[in-house]
Amino acid sequence: MNTNLVFPFSVEEITVAVTQPINYIGAYVLAGEFLNRGILNDVEVVRALLLGSILSSIPALRFLAPYYMGIYGFKDGFNLMIISTLVRVFITALFIIITV
């Protein structure tokens, strides 16, 4: 069975994407090295970094929560933070789907 039909990312793309939430500079270095060696092309690098951006949205909530809740209060701040994060993830996912 061709796994690309189920999950259209190569192992290298997933490696870059999973590295990004841990250390974004490391992900950029890794993506650049894959690009320089010809392992990934430019579209695959962008797609991997976009996927990493989506994966980074969850840990980013700990930085966004004090910002939104400090300005808008707990209830409104929480709702705005979730809406903002979901819209950002949705738009990023659309760009990934366009490049597949």
pLDDT value, residue 21:
94
| Nearest-angstrom CA–CA distance, 44 and 94 | 15
Q: DSSP 3-state assignment of 83?
A: helix
pLDDT value, residue 2:
42
| Nearest-angstrom CA–CA distance, 30 and 67 | 31
Give the single-character DSSP code of 37.
T
Query: What's the full length of the chain, in residues?
Result: 100
pTM: 0.84
Mean pLDDT over the full length of the chain: 92
Task: Say if residue 75's pLDDT is above 60.
Answer: yes
Higher pLDDT, residue 12 or 8: 12
pLDDT value, residue 8:
84
Q: DSSP 3-state assignment of 88?
A: helix
